[in-house]
């Protein structure tokens, strides 16, 4: 059984493994509008996308970064802004 939605979904980290796969699944299985937030976007894009999203999947993050400032920006700060 396929469940149909008429919603807007924001995928943060849409270019990563989880983001790409959930986007593919939702595009294939559900009637949703998908917004994709990636590293190429800036924080202003994020706020605009969040305001129009009904659901948010937050899959963004780095796990192999040795630069603490970059790690904090891409993991901690991004999550704080989403919240």
**Tokens describing residue 59:** 């899959």
Cα–Cα distance for residue pair 83/77, rounded to 1 Å: 10
State residue 50's pLDDT score.
95
Task: Please tell me what DSSP assigns to residue 21.
Answer: H
Q: Any residues with CB less than 8 A from the CB of 39 and at least 6 apart, and which? A: 15, 74
SS3 24: helix
Q: What is the pLDDT along the chain (83 residues), one digit of tens a residue?
A: 565 557 899 999 999 999 999 999 998 888 789 999 998 998 889 999 999 999 999 998 777 777 778 777 777 888 888 88
**Tokens describing residue 73:** 């920006």
Range 44-47, long-range pairs (CB < 8 A, 24+ positions): 46/12, 46/78, 46/81, 46/82, 47/81
């Amino acid at each position: 059984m396929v469940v149909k939605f008429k919603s807007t979904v924001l995928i943060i980290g849409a270019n990563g493994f989880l983001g790409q796969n959930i986007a593919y699944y939702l595009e294939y299985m559900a009637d949703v509008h998908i917004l994709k937030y990636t590293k190429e976007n800036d924080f202003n894009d994020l706020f605009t996308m969040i305001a129009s999203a009904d659901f948010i999947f937050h899959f963004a993050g780095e796990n192999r970064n040795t630069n603490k400032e970059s790690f904090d920006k891409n993991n901690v700060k991004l999550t704080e802004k989403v919240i």
